[in-house]
Each structure stands twice: as C-alpha cells, then as structure tokens.
Structure 1
Amino acid sequence: MGIKSNQWGTVSFGNQLDMTEEFVYLYNISAWASGYAIHQGDFDRMNGDRLPNSVKYMSPDYGGFTFGGVYSFGNVSGNFHQNSAWSVGAHYARNTFNLGVAYTQLNNPNGIYAFDPYAMIGAHTFLGQPTVTIDPAIGARTDLFSANPFSVDRQGALAVGGAWTLGNLMLSGNFTWTSIKGLGVTSYMKVYEAGASYNFRPDLALYGGYQHTRF
C-alpha cells in the first residue's frame, strides 16, 4: 500500500524490500549465474530480503540518480528499538555505467528472522558460543539454534556494486562489509565479487564470476 507522485516520489507501507535489494542486489553475479548462489549465510542481505512493518520512501529519478530509505518497526510493546531495522541507499545510472550503494541495519535480527549460524554457514561456534553438539559415539550433530534463534544485538551491512556495459559484454562487481554484534563480541564479514556476462543472442547469455569471503 502506498502513494506515488512523479514529482515527489513514492511512500509505501508493509512487508517491503530493503535498499540493499533495491540498489545493489543486481550486482550479485553468483545469483545471476546459477539462480541459487548467494553470499555466505546472506548476512549482507544480497539475496533480496524484506523488512516487516515498514514505511519506505523511494525518490523519483533525477537525471539518473535515485535514492531511498526504509524503517521497520519492531512491534515490541514498550521498546521502540528492539526488532526494528532501517535501510538507506542510492543508485546512479548514466549511459553504459551504473553504481549502487546501500546500508542496512537490523536491531536484534533474531527477532526479524530465525538467526541460526550453523544452518546458515555451518559454523560450530559463533561469537564465541557453540552452535552444535556432537554425539561422540556416532558423530551425529544437533543444531542448538534450529528452534530458538541465536541471540544477536545488531547486524549492519554495507554494500557497493557497479556495472559497465560494452556492447554485448557487461563487467560487474560488488563489495559488502557486514558487522554482527552479540554477547559482547563483534564479528566481521567481507565479500569481494567480480565477474562478467556476454549476450550471444537475446535468448542466450553466459555469466561467470569469482567470489571471495573473509569472516
């Protein structure tokens, strides 16, 4: 639900995509190449994620430049901050070059979605805490946070991406920097990704790229 003006932009309400998806998601080469691949655990929200209970503003196009922001209310009685989130971003496109940047912050992300480190990245420990137990007899693993989400205070993700088109060839890349804070500890993830696509025909394209993650 929302209101749109060609002069002033669009204000909308509901379960909505954040600015990372609006302005940087399309530079995720791995998603284009396979339809399934995303950055590890989707901690940087490059998989096209939504924010619930949100109000969102998207600007009109000013000569190729657009910007926007969204705020998600936590819906926790007596606590305006808990489970809330916000996201801002901008995009510029001119001729064959385009560039996007966005920052999204989740407060208590375990309340926004099920935060399960073992299921998301296969880590046996996260922020200094064990995420699984292992049966010494048979080696069976039990995910400690499959039913109750891992408690995280804050998750912030900065994303930058760009693309340059040269005829049938498009060069593209992105960088994301994510911080996750909880239990008095902060962990950081950096993702570097670059690649290209080539259109042989309108119905045939080849994508390739390389992704490197440091956590």
Structure 2
Amino acid sequence: MATMLSVAGGAYAQSSVTIYGSIDAGVSYVNNQRGGSSVREDTGNRSPDRLGFRGTEDLGDGYKALWQLETGFNVDDGTNKKPTVFFNRAALVGLSGPMGTLTLGHMPDFMYEYLRFQSSGNMGSAYFFHPGNLDNLASQFQLDNAIKYESPVFNGFTLGAMNGFGEQTDGFNKLRSYSFGAKYIGEALNAGLAYTSSNNRAINIGGTLGVGKLLGQTLSANPVAPNAVYANFNADSVKSIGLSASYKVGDFTPHFMYSRIKLETAAGSAAEANYEAGTDYAVTGLDTVGASFTRTTFQDIRWNQYNLINMYRLSKRTQVYIAASYQKADNGYAVINSFLPSNTQSQSVYRVGVHHLF
C-alpha cells in the first residue's frame, strides 16, 4: 500500500505523487562465518529496506511525464545503504505514451527488472540469491547516466533497451554499461530474458566467493581468516545473461532460472553459472511455503544450496516468516549470500523476521 496525493489543474492536467517503501527486520543465526558462529539482527531480507517517491503528470492524448526517487537503508541502525549515494536504488525522470516509455537517470538493469520475480531471492529470502550476486538479482548494481526505453505491452510482451554512458574523454566504452530485456506477463505464465554488459567494474570477489586469487589479481591473503581484508577484482568487462520463468498451477507456483556471468580482463576470463529451480505452495490464503535448490559453478568451485521459507500474512502489508538455507561447496568455501565465507565447505543460516510494506 502507498500514500497518494493528487492535484488537478488546467483542462486535463492531473498529477499524482506516491510515497512507498519496505521495512524488514529479524534475527539470523549463521553456523560458520570465517570460522565462528554468530547471531545478528539482519535487515532487508524478505525485501530491501527502502523509501521511495514516484509521480506522474497527465499531459493529455495518452502521454504522461513520470519520475521516481528511491533510497535504500538499513533499519537496524538507520544508516544509508550507500552513504555516498542517497537515491542509490533509483533516480529518474521520463515520458510515456502510445509508443512506449523513455526514462533517464540512475536505474537498475534488466537482469534485475525482468528476471527477479521468478528468483528464489525475491520470492523468499535474500539468503537465497546466488553466491556473490554477480547476476544482480538483488539490485546491488545500477546503471549511471542511463537512458532506457520500454515498449508498450503487446499481448503480455514487453521489450526494453538501455545504455549507461561512461562519460569519459578517453573512449566511449570506458565505464559504459548497456542492457537488453524481454518479459512476458500472463495469467499463469511469467517469463523473462535479459542481457547486461558493463565495462571497468570493481567487484568484491574475495569477500563474496571466498576466492584469494583470480586471473592474476590477488584479492586476499586468506579470504576466510578472522581478520581477512579483501581487495576488489577489477574486471575490464562483465557480461551477464539470464532467463527465468514461473507457472501457476493451482496452489503451486513452480519457477526456474538460469544465469551466466563472464568476467574478462587482459589475463583471461572466468565465469559463474547459476541453475535454480523451486516452487511456492499456498497452504492457505494467508500461509505460503517456498522451497528451492540452486547449483552454482565458478571456475572449479561448485556450490549446492537448499532453501526453505514459510511466510504468514498478518495483513495485505505485513507478514512474519521463518527461513533456512544450507550450502555445500566442492573445491572451495561455502558462501551464502549476505554472509562472509565459511572456513569449511558448508554453511547454514536460520532466520525469523517480520516484513512490512507501505
């Protein structure tokens, strides 16, 4: 639910402003993080903590002006998600009409926009996202200086393309990002396809995947040591592709996802692949159980992760939930999303929380 204010003026002009957001908090236990267990109050788990403002103005003849500002925060201590970027999740302005929608500003790519609704991380818990979130289903990477076009909906289909300008004087492609996507929204079937390419990105591979060296770059002397320090991996380019689908059958909603991310430097390339399958089951109109399995490969490392969540709706806006994840690694360390690496091949997380939308 959101708060809406409407102002009418002139012969046809009408404007509306919506205030919306999400607050999630709970207690989580992880059995192994750099060799020790811990209990913490964790936030933004069912859905990222955020506060947003969006508005439209009716320009007549089917045209509208639109804008959106959205910031992410941590409800446990009140800090901004990215201290140096206030509207870190979205900051955009644009126009929509019979030929589609054009927006400009800071916004997520189509890997997030068109694939996330069929992901276990979005349907369940942030712990269910793939190791390192390299495919960006948790929207930790947005395109700056971007221009995006989305087509009108035609028989359930929407197409999109966007470009984030690097704005560098020593080459058009330096720091540039671009993305393409297609999605279908139907009564039972939902599906998405997306591709993103970004240049000159720094990524914390050591802390999120437990990797000490990659393509000749030293990331950490010991990534699972209690006092481990991580250097970013500097990629010349990051290319991501993914597809997802879900289909509602009675009280069940099975879903599938595949994504592949390729990191490239002058020294070579490394790739992560994610294979995910699961289902949601509506036990009652208020109670939903979700279960999923993900297999992730990166170089010679393999991760198998099993996820389970039970969500009970106290109202349309508020729910309580319990969630659990278990991950087993081969040829590497276990690294459940949102936590530091285990110093063994296994890691498990248990959580109870409350989530409120407004």
* Bin for the TM-score computed over the shorter chain: 0.7 to 0.9
Q: Distance in 2 between matches of 1:214 and 1:94?
A: 32
Structure 1 CA distance for aligned equivalents of residues 266 and 208 of structure 2: 19
In the superposition, the TM-score normalised over structure 1's length comes to 0.88
Report deviation, 1:116: 1.8
Secondary structure at 2:124 match in 1: helix
| 1:175 partnered with 2:258 | yes
Residue 150 of structure 1 deviates from its aligned partner by 2.5
Alignment of 1:104-119 (within 5 A): 104-110=196-202, 115-119=203-207
Q: Residue type of the partner of 1:214?
A: T
Please tell me whether residue 125 in structure 1 is matched to residue 213 in structure 2: yes
Larger-Rg structure: 2
Query: TM-score, length-normalised on structure 2?
Result: 0.54
Q: What is the CA deviation profile of residues 61-118 of structure 1, one whole-angstrom value per residue up to 9, with x for unaligned ones?
A: 00111110110011323321111100001012333112110001111112xxxx1211
Q: Tell me which moved more, 19-28 or 33-42.
A: 33-42
**Partners in 2 of 1:169 and 1:140 — Cα distance?**
43
Q: Given residue 17 of structure 1, which amino acid in structure 2 is its aligned partner?
A: P
8 Å contact from structure 1 (residues 85, 104) kept in 2: yes
3-state SS of 2:208 partner: helix
Query: Quick check: 1:132–1:141 contact (8 Å CA) kept in 2?
Result: no
**Root-mean-square deviation (CA), in Å?**
1.7
Partner SS for 2:255: strand
Q: Check the 8 A contact 1:164/1:172 in 2, yes or no.
A: yes
Contact 1:30 1:209 in 2 (8 A): no
- Matched with 1:158 is 241
Mapping of residues 31-180 of structure 1, within 5 Å: 31-48=122-139, 49-110=141-202, 115-134=203-222, 141-145=227-231, 149-180=232-263
Identity, % of aligned positions: 24
Report the Cα distance in structure 2 between the residues aligned to 1:70 and 1:22, rounded to whole angstroms: 12
Distance 1:161 1:177 in 2: 12
Structure 1 residue 203, shift from structure 2 partner: 2.7
Deviates more, 1:8-17 or 1:119-128: 119-128
Residue 132 of structure 1 aligns to a residue whose secondary structure is coil
Task: Name the structure with the higher helix share.
Answer: 1
Q: Whose strand proportion is higher, 1 or 2?
A: 2
CA contact (8 A) 1:169 1:198 kept: yes
8 A Cα contact 1:20 1:104, kept in partner: yes
Instruction: Tell me, yes or no, if the aligned pair for 1:72 and 1:85 is still in contact at 8 Å.
Output: yes
- Structure 1 residue runs of 5 or longer lacking an equivalent are none
Bigger relative contact order (CA 8 A; separation at least 6): 1
